[in-house]
Amino acid sequence: MHDVDQPPPEDRSPLLTFGGTPTIRDVARMAEVSIGTASKALNAGGRLSQETRDKVLRVAREIGYRPNDLAQSLHRAKSRTIGIISNDSFGRFTFPIVEALEERLAEDGIAVFMCNATDDPARERQHLDQLLRKRIDGLVVTARRADMRAAIDPLAHGLPVIYVFSQADDAGALSLLPDDEGGARLAVAHLASLGRKRIAHVTGPERFEAVRLRCAGYRSALSEAGLPEIDGFYLSGVWSEAWGREAMAKLFATPRRPDAVFCGNDQIARGATDALREMGVGVPAEVAIVGFDNWDVMALAARPALTSVDMNLKALGREAGDSLLEMIGGKRLSGVRRRPCSLVVRASSTS
């Protein structure tokens, strides 16, 4: 039997077939575990069986894995953890961001603590104090809407802070946001490319920045396509299926009816398709529909399935992880970065 610390050459060679420097991904793949499990084993953390821990450590030794140089050089890193504070109780927007963020940080052996503040400043303060006592190395602030909020204290303590799907009233802060205006332009340009000439916009409350930006994108795309903005074709209400149904009743109560509707979110769009079906109006034959968010629960369950703008939240989360590592390593980052959306075309807007 061979000693595990000195495996024979024939056992080592198959593991060295990849190119470049071994990473934690290589360790996880060869040990047949997740990146998170590999990270826990390599950092002596978490609840793992001794068998799993030993297997991961053995694979790491065999392929010559060494922790990422960046992670080793983080001058603040003491706990190898970061905190997340969110007010998104339902997790609709936060979960995809956090999933991608956690996966990115696990590659560098950094774990995540997540707290839900539920729009309660006192609760947020309590969570923040607890995270600071854990000596976190950085903080991510996220939300269920991308509107402006008061900057959070840790900046005063030199702790790196990133706002994702949220933004601070501080020019020195870094905020990562989806490009709502660009996403709306994609939606309307798509409808125009199908030959639709009378495009309405049904959306949520105007107090939300996203609503105002999506409306601006709608209007600029109409102008670029040489289409008129028809009076009465912009309707602002609430984020609900009920509003989508109500808006269709209003639009179709007049002689000049739309041949396409761009909706401010997928809930409104699903309500709109339901209402049109009940009115005997064909979707997309008579009216094409596009939503926003690409929320599978709504978009795929609608009949027909909804074309929708995807905010690429996972890409946003991964970028947050990259940026946070840079900031922990000493780099100063600030400003508002708006990242491109994409359009997922489904049956509600096929030509």
- Of the pLDDT bands very low, low, confident and very high (cuts 50, 70, 90), residue 280 is very high
Q: Half-sphere exposure of 81 toward its Cβ, with a 13 Å CA cutoff?
A: 16
Q: pLDDT category, 25, cuts 50, 70, 90?
A: confident
Higher pLDDT, 124 or 9: 124
Average pLDDT of the segment spanning 85-111? 88
What does each C-alpha distance from 121 to 4, 114, 127, 128, 238 come to in angstroms?
53, 16, 10, 10, 25
Q: Tell me how far apart the alpha carbons of residues 222 and 234 are, in angstroms, rounded to a whole number.
A: 12
Return the SS3 of 286. Answer: coil
Quote the CA–CA distance of 146 and 148 in Å, as a whole number: 7
Look at the alpha carbons of 276, 279, 282, 286 in this order and tell me if their dihedral is positive or negative. negative
Distance between CA atoms of 238 and 202, rounded to whole angstroms? 10
Q: What CA–CA distance (Å, rounded) separates 85 from 139?
A: 8
94-106 helix and 313-328 helix, angle to the nearest 10 degrees: 40
Q: How far apart are CA 236 and CA 52, in angstroms?
A: 55
Q: How far apart are the first and last CA of the chain?
A: 67
Identify the CATH number of the domain defined by range 75-177+313-339.
Answer: 3.40.50.2300
Domain layout of the chain by residue ranges: 9-66, 75-177+313-339, 180-311+344-349
Q: Using CA atoms, how far apart are residues 193 and 331, in angstroms rounded to an integer?
A: 44
Query: Cα-Cα-Cα-Cα dihedral of 65, 70, 75, 76, to 10°?
Result: -90
Q: If pLDDT is split at 50, 70 and 90, which confidence band does 22 have?
A: confident
| CA atoms of 57 and 31, how far apart (whole Å) | 9
Residues 40-73: tens digit of each pLDDT: 887 666 678 888 988 988 898 888 886 654 444 4
DSSP string for 113-128: EEEE-TT-HHHHHHHH
Asked if residue 5 lies in contact with residue 61, where contact means CB atoms within 8 angstroms, the answer is yes
Arch. (CATH architecture) of 9-66: Orthogonal Bundle (1.10)
CA distance 112 to 150: 23
Quote the tokens at residue 194: 């199908």
The model's confidence at residue 351, banded by pLDDT at 50, 70 and 90, is: low
Domain 180-311+344-349: which topology?
Rossmann fold (3.40.50)
Q: In the block, which residue shows the tokens 């290589």?
A: 26
| Angle subtended at Cα 174 by Cα 326 and Cα 221, rounded to the nearest 5 degrees | 120
Instruction: Tell me whether domains 9-66 and 75-177+313-339 share a fold.
Output: no
Q: Looking at residue 250, what is its pLDDT?
A: 97
pLDDT single digits (tens) 144-196:
877 788 888 665 567 899 999 999 988 889 999 999 999 999 999 999 999 99
Residue-wise DSSP of 76-145? T-SS-EEEEEE--TT-TTHHHHHHHHHHHHHTTT-EEEEEE-TT-HHHHHHHHHHHHHTT-S-EEEE-SS
pLDDT digits (tens, 9 = 90+) for 295-313: 999 999 999 999 999 999 9
Residues 237, 249: contact at Cβ < 8 Å? no
